[in-house]
Amino acid sequence: MNEIIQIIGIGWFAVALFMTILWYIGKKIQNYAIVDVGWTIALVILSSIYSILGDGWLPRRILIGGMVGFWGLRLGGYLLFTRILGGHGEDQRYVAFRKDYGDKVDQKFFTNIFQFQGLLDLVLAIPFLLIAMNPIPEFTYYDFIGLGIFLIAIIGEGIADNQLHTFKKKPENKGKNCEVGLWYYSRHPNYFFEWLTWISYGVISLGSEYGYLGFLSAILMYIFLTKFTGVPMTEKYALEKRGDVYREYQKSTSPFIPWFKKKP
C-alpha cells in the first residue's frame, strides 16, 4: 500500500507542476482554453509514471501506457490545432468564467480550473494504476476485449472529428447542422466514442485486484459528458447559433449513443 501511495504522490506532483506551467502559458497568451489540451496530456503523464513505476507484468504496463499515450496525443493534438492554434479565440466557457472571476481571474483559473483538473485526472487515472499493478504474467480476455473496444473507440472518434471538420470547412454549410456520417445517428458521436475509450480501460482493469474500481472513470466521464461540460454546453451554443434548425435536429436524432432517427 505504501508503494501505491508513493506512486500516486509522484503522479500528483508531476501533474501539479505541469498544470502550473500550462497555467502560466495560458496567462501569457491570454487563452486559458489550453487547459483542455493539458488535461489530456496530464493523463498521459500519469499513465507513463504508473507504467514505469508499477510492479505489474511489463507487457501489460506497456500496453496501457501505449493506449493512453496514443489516445492523449491524438486528442490533445486535435484540440491544440483546432481550438488553440486554429484562430477560434478562447472557448465561450472560459470567457464566461473570466466575467465571473473578476479581478481574481488568474488566481481562480489556477486553482479552480487548472489544479482542479489535475486532481480530477488523478481520479480518472485509477484504471491506469490498477492495470500497471496487475501481476498476472499473461494477457487475459479482459485485455483483448478492452483493446478491441479501445480500437473501435479511437477509430470512431477519429471518423466523427474528421466528418465534422470537413463539414465546417465548406462555406455553404454555415448555419446548418452536421448530419453526415456518424452525425446522422448521434448529435455527439465524438463524445460517445470518447466515453467508449474509458469503458475499454475499465474492462482491462477488471483483471486486476479491485478492478471494478476502474469503471469509476467511465461513470464520471459519462456524467461529465452528458450532464455538464460535454453535451449540455455544446447544445446550448448550438441553439444560440442555429435556433429552430438545431431544435429539429434534437427532435429527430439521438443525443449520445448512435441510433436510428426518430420518425416525425
Identify how many contiguous H helices and E strands the chain contains and give both numbers.
Answer: 12, 0
**How far, in Å, CA of 99 to CA of 114, rounded?**
17
**Does residue 204 contact residue 146 with C-beta atoms inside 8 Å?**
yes
What pLDDT is attached to residue 97?
83
**How far, in Å, CA of 47 to CA of 72, rounded?**
10
**Does residue 230 contact residue 224 with C-beta atoms inside 8 Å?**
yes
Grid coordinates of 85: 492554434
What pLDDT is attached to residue 88?
64
Query: DSSP code of 131?
Result: H
Stretch 24-43: mean pLDDT: 92
pLDDT, tens digit, for every residue of 96-153? 888 888 888 999 999 999 999 999 999 999 999 999 999 999 999 999 999 999 999 9
Assess whether pLDDT exceeds 80 at residue 82. no
**Does residue 88 contact residue 82 with C-beta atoms inside 8 Å?**
yes
Sequence-ordered alpha helix ranges (H) in 54-140: 58-79, 92-101, 105-108, 116-124, 126-132
What pLDDT is attached to residue 86?
65
> Alpha-carbon Rg of the chain, whole angstroms?
19
**Does residue 196 contact residue 156 with C-beta atoms inside 8 Å?**
yes
pLDDT, tens digit, for every residue of 84-94? 776 666 777 78
**How far, in Å, CA of 258 to CA of 256, rounded?**
6
Determine the distance from the C-alpha atom of residue 5 to the mean position of all C-alpha atoms in its chain, rounded to a whole number.
Answer: 25
What pLDDT is attached to residue 90?
72
**How far, in Å, CA of 10 to CA of 69, rounded?**
18
What pLDDT is attached to residue 76?
87
Structure-model confidence comparison of residues 38 and 80, the more confident one: 38
Mean pLDDT of all residues belonging to the chain: 93
Grid coordinates of 150: 479501445
Which distant-in-sequence residues (6+ apart) come within 8 Å of 72 by Cβ? 40, 41, 43, 44, 47
